[in-house]
Chain A
Amino acid sequence: MELISPAEFAKEKVQAVQDYSLLAGRSISGFFRQPRYMADAVQQADLIGVGSLPIVVLTGFFTGAVLALQTSNTLQRFGSLSLIGQLVSTSMVRELGPVLTSLMVAGRNASGMASELGSMVVTEQIDAMRALGTDPMKKLVTPRVLATVFMLFFLTIISDLVGLAGGSMVARILLGLDTRQYWSNAWETLVFEDVFMGLVKPVLFGFIIATVGCYYGLSARGGTQGVGRATTQAVVAASVLILVVDFFVTRLLMMFLSYR
């Protein structure tokens, strides 16, 4: 492995952050300037949203189910098993729904974007697009960002709902609780702040997934090996960034919303 000086390493990292910031900025500005590629955005929404639905439903369902199962033991010790709906509901809506859905979509789509755009870079298709007078940022990045943000928002809602259903099934079948009590408990415990926090996160995470995927794809160098490397890096970076941003956003929202 080639050794690199610390100064060179630091320079590379600063350059990468600068390039990523520029791409993120241009992906937003592209939405406000002509031409707008709405057909491409709809196509991407189909690929990202509808395509991710099965894994999001499965993940959400089993997360809700296992959450009910794991917490039942503790709640039973305190004689509060009836609160299981409340616990599954707040956990899913505030935290697990947005984060797990985003991680699933990151695994599926950040890698897809990185490999697709990376292949286009190494086969000169991106240069060809620029040579034909089309801005790849507007044509390729902005529609992906728009579609991911939009679809992740709704995928998270679906995941929350399916997670609650999973918890409900465990509560009914394995714990013998009343289904109506579970749902009314789950519903009544939710306040505006919970829902707001749960719906702000997918917007931010969707932006991270698409921009990180596109950034690594457009930075791919060195043939098919480079594309493979970009794909792996995109998934790792997007997943880590989601978890880090999740912590800070949660803290920030708790402060602003004077959270209980």
Chain B
Amino acid sequence: MLSPTLPAENPALAVQDSSRYVVVFEDVSIAFEGRVVLDGVSFRLARGETKALFGIAGAGKSTVLKLTLGLIKPDNGHIHVIGDDVTQMSEEELFDLRRKIGMVFQESALFDSLTVRENVAFRLLEEGDISEEEVERRVREALSFVELEHTVDMFPSELSGGMRRRVAIARAIIAQPEILLYDSPTGGLDPVTSTTIIELIVKQRDVYKTSSLLVSHRLQDAFTMATHYFDRQANQMRPLPPGAHGEVSMTFLVLRDGKVIFDGDAHELAHSKDEYIREYIS
């Protein structure tokens, strides 16, 4: 299924839709040193939706996340995030917008000279108007969400790869952002740890229902997310009954040669006739 045509010439519509869509890409293109990475990419992320982005290495998946945050600017097109066009904003204006977005980086990107507590509390400490007791309470809460309360005084170098990824999730969710961006959260991890991370993402999705963009090259991770839900009573991820849909909408977007070649749900993806996609999911 091809990406739906978006009203690229009508940014006002995207702004009006900001209550429905938290991220809108309109005909976005970007090239690095003459190599086109994204070529006219358009898609929308609805409020509360989780969208998984796929593509081979170098397809521009991480670039989509960096563009969403305004860390880099596109050569063409517009990107609306919570109603603001990030392509038209100054770095100073973007800092305010970024406070509403949480991001989990590919290699965690924890500050190695700070403890886990200081890493997780970073955003709250920067805001400066929150009491120490409140900061401590929220740090403990975020760390208990990722089940790493005992690491609070440790440094990132003392943690395993999976633990660092979980601390990065705690740092991203502490300020209860409106959008969460995950950049290959299971990349380089063993299958057991990957499942733990996916379970945490499903928990975050089903408990807080935060709109999320998830970049991955592991299709099984996204299928697990689409076919499971988080059981709060049992405090664990469980498979959905056959044919049932989860509470939160989960969609897939596939990038190839800088273009969107698929944007739809798990059922549509599984039944896609596109040869490339069939090969990708096989």
Contact = CB atoms under 8 A, between A and B. Distances in A.
Interface stretch (B122-130, B138-146, B252-260, B263-271): B122-130
A132 B66 CA distance: 13
B101 A131 contact: yes
Given A123-B112, A127-B66, A127-B71, A133 B126 contact: yes
Interface string A129-141: 1111111000000
28 contacts: A119-B112, A120-B111, A123-B109, A123-B112, A124-B107, A125-B110, A125-B111, A127-B71, A127-B105, A128-B103, A128-B105, A128-B111, A129-B111, A130-B69, A130-B98, A131-B98, A131-B103, A131-B105, A132-B99, A132-B122, A132-B123, A133-B96, A133-B98, A133-B99, A134-B95, A135-B91, A135-B92, A135-B95
A35 interface: yes
Interface in B13-32: none
B176 to A, nearest CB: 14
A109 B158 CA distance: 27
Interface residues of A, number: 15
B150 to A, nearest CB: 23
A135 B70 CA distance: 13
Contacts of B95: 130, 133-135
Interface string B73-105: 000000000000000000110011011010101
B151 interface: no
Contacts, number: 53
Question: Which 9 interchain pairs have the tightest Cβ spacing?
Answer: A128-B109, A133-B99, A124-B109, A133-B98, A131-B103, A133-B95, A132-B123, A124-B105, A134-B126
A35 B126 contact: yes
A195 B103 CA distance: 52
A185 to B, nearest CB: 49
B69 A131 contact: yes
B195 interface: no
Given A133-B95, A133-B96, A135-B91, A124 B106 contact: yes
A120 B107 CA distance: 12
A135 B106 CA distance: 21
Nearest to B103: A131
Interface of A: 35, 119-120, 123-125, 127-135
Nearest to A139: B126
B157 to A, nearest CB: 12
Contacts of A129: 111
Interface residues of B, number: 23
Interface in B173-222: none
Nearest to B70: A130
B71 A35 contact: no
Contacts of A131: 69, 71, 98, 101, 103, 105
Q: Which of A119, A130, A131, A135 has the most CB of B within 10 A?
A: A131
Contacts of A133: 95-96, 98-99, 123, 126
A35 B107 CA distance: 28
A187 to B, nearest CB: 45
Contacts of A120: 111
B160 to A, nearest CB: 17
Interface in B39-96: 66, 69, 71, 91-92, 95-96
B71 A130 contact: yes
Given A133-B95, A133-B123, A135-B91, A127 B109 contact: yes
Contacts of B98: 130-133
B231 to A, nearest CB: 31
Contacts of B105: 124, 127-128, 131
Contact of A125 (B69, B99, B112): B112
Given A123-B107, A127-B105, A132-B123, 9 more contacts: A124-B106, A125-B109, A125-B110, A129-B111, A131-B103, A131-B105, A132-B99, A133-B95, A133-B96
A118 B99 CA distance: 25
Contacts of A127: 66, 71, 105, 109
A101 to B, nearest CB: 27
A119 B113 CA distance: 11
A189 B192 CA distance: 77
A120 B128 CA distance: 23
Contacts of B101: 131
A133 B106 CA distance: 18
B234 to A, nearest CB: 33
Nearest to A131: B103
